[in-house]
Structure 1
């Protein structure tokens, strides 16, 4: 709908521009906040999910290997145990 009033048209254009500017400022503020949060969290010695999962998998593998070695040691100790001589 076109109006004959130029002042109203100019006001609408101004408000549309202001809304776009405010939206852009909001995006910039959000990006800056995210960057600061990353910097702050980066200084707290956190690890990424990938690093955590890798260490978790390595710990599970080490635990499995330790269990296997313990079972092997138990079997060797059982085999090396002197058998009791029968009582006469």
Structure 2
């Protein structure tokens, strides 16, 4: 007595092969779509997140330096505008 049916084994093998092909097709479709989106974005001259973060860090540093220079300038102007203690006469 045979416990396994040959027809069912063949159908199961066929379904397994079909799933493998479907998985491969899905991977190829995802790769093709990713390439298409990457090309579309590159054509639009958009920046990457890394580039954006680098420019944002540079702008933050420039703002901090600008604030420090403004404080120094204000101190120098205040010192220049203060009356002199010593009278030259």
Task: State the TM-score, normalizing by the size of structure 1.
Answer: 0.75
Residue 21 of structure 1 aligns to a residue in which SS?
A: helix
Give the length in aligned residue pairs: 82
Distance 2:20 2:37 in 1: 26
Alignment of 1:16-27 (within 5 A): 16-27=16-27
Distance 2:8 2:16 in 1: 12
Q: What's the Cα RMSD here? A: 2.1
Alignment of 1:44-59 (within 5 A): 44-59=44-59
Gaps of 5+ in 1: 84-88
Give 1:82 deviation, angstroms.
6.0
Runs of 4+ deviating beyond 4 Å: none
Give 1:59 deviation, angstroms.
0.8
Give 1:31 deviation, angstroms.
1.1
Considering Cα pairs closer than 8 Å and 6+ residues apart, tell me whether 1 or 2 has the greater RCO: 1
Alignment of 1:1-88 (within 5 A): 2-3=4-5, 6-81=6-81, 83=83
Task: State the TM-score, normalizing by the size of structure 2.
Answer: 0.75
Gaps of 5+ in 2: 84-89
